[in-house]
Amino acid sequence: MTASNTPPVFSLHEGSLPLLISIPHVGTKIPADIAATMTPIAQRTEDCDWHLDRLYAFAREQGASILMPHNARYVIDLNRPPDGANLYPGQDTTGLLPVDTFDKESLYLDGHLPDDAEVARRRELYWKPYHEALAAHLAALKAKHGQVLLWEAHSIRSHVPRFFEGRLPDFNFGTSNGASAAAGLAEALSAVVEQHGGGYTAIANGRFKGGYITRQYGRPAEGVHAVQLELTQVTYMEEQMPYAYDATLAAKIEPLLNKLVQTAMKHVGVA
């Protein structure tokens, strides 16, 4: 946890179910000392996973634990390994401390790129507390229930040419090619979307196979199952500024999200 004289860097709602929903890119704050080194573009925190706390409110009400950071991914990316290694070798990606936006706009003023000491400082202040809380709560839930499901909640614009061609499928399920959860989970979830009849598209272990959190904490043989959902933002919000939540769209997708979470829990044996 953070020291008593520093503001908390995450919030954890502890629920009653063997289900932890981690939303590592929902934060929008940038500490003043870091913001002073950044461009005006950075202040818009455009690459945020907007409104997922609101979209997953149903899970909180049903008893899920919810873990969320306060700071933006521009401060440090909680879904990257601490050494900054590329999770998708050969493909473009943003790093542990992103230096540009998804559209390759610079985040830092000239001469203010973070050096190794700054990377280490942020890793200690912002990355480490989140992961300590994540690991500790997974362990507590596993001790109580025997098995636990970690649901990694993410969202992204439907078109980001830097990372993929054309339009991304609406539901992108990742289980590190089956290594982070019970066999067939990603495929079972994709089938639920396809059978839903709402016109949404889905893929299992496609462009997004799960980031660091899914790969690091998903240990199905040890009773911890992890799945990442990368959801297109066009399904529940406006993808352009001011990135407004669309209650009408969200109302259509929330029942499907609920069904997907319930399906995942049953599939891994925690429901």
- The structure tokens listed for 191 are 């089938």
The pLDDT of 151-169, averaged and rounded, is 94
Q: In whole angstroms, how far apart are CA 1 and each of 9, 78, 124, 129?
A: 9, 15, 11, 6
Dihedral Cα 97, 102, 107, 112, nearest 10 deg: 50
Beta-bridge partners for 246: none
| Cα maximum dimension of the chain | 52
The pLDDT of 81-91, averaged and rounded, is 80
Helix, strand, coil in percent for the chain, rounding step 5 = 35, 15, 50
DSSP letters for 34-84: HHTTB-TTGGG-TTS-TTHHHHTHHHHHHT-EEEEESB-TTT--TTS-TT-
- Given the candidates 3.40.630.40, 3.30.70.270, 3.30.9.10, 3.40.50.300, the CATH classification of the domain at 10-268 is 3.40.630.40
- Band of pLDDT at residue 271, cut at 50, 70 and 90: confident
| Alpha carbons within 13 A on the beta-carbon side of 73 | 25
- Please report which residue ranges of 72-127 form alpha helices under DSSP H: 116-122
What percent of the chain is modeled with pLDDT above 90?
89
Dihedral Cα 219, 17, 66, 147, nearest 10 deg: -10
Query: Could you read off the pLDDT of 126-156 as tens digits, one per residue?
Result: 999 999 999 999 999 999 999 999 999 999 9
Query: Could you read off the pLDDT of 9-26 as tens digits, one per residue?
Result: 999 999 999 999 999 999
- Distance CA(264)–CA(271), nearest Å, equals 9
Please state whether 196 falls in left (phi above 0), alpha (psi between -120 and 50) or beta.
Answer: alpha
- The structure tokens listed for 152 are 């990694």
Query: Could you read off the pLDDT of 199-219 as tens digits, one per residue?
Result: 999 999 998 999 999 999 999
The pLDDT of 54-59, averaged and rounded, is 97
DSSP letters for 203-264: EESSS----HHHHHH-BGGGTEEEEEEEEEGGGTB-SSTT--B-HHHHHHHHHHHHHHHHHH
| Alpha carbons within 13 A on the beta-carbon side of 168 | 26
The structural domains of the chain, with segments of one domain joined by +, span 10-268
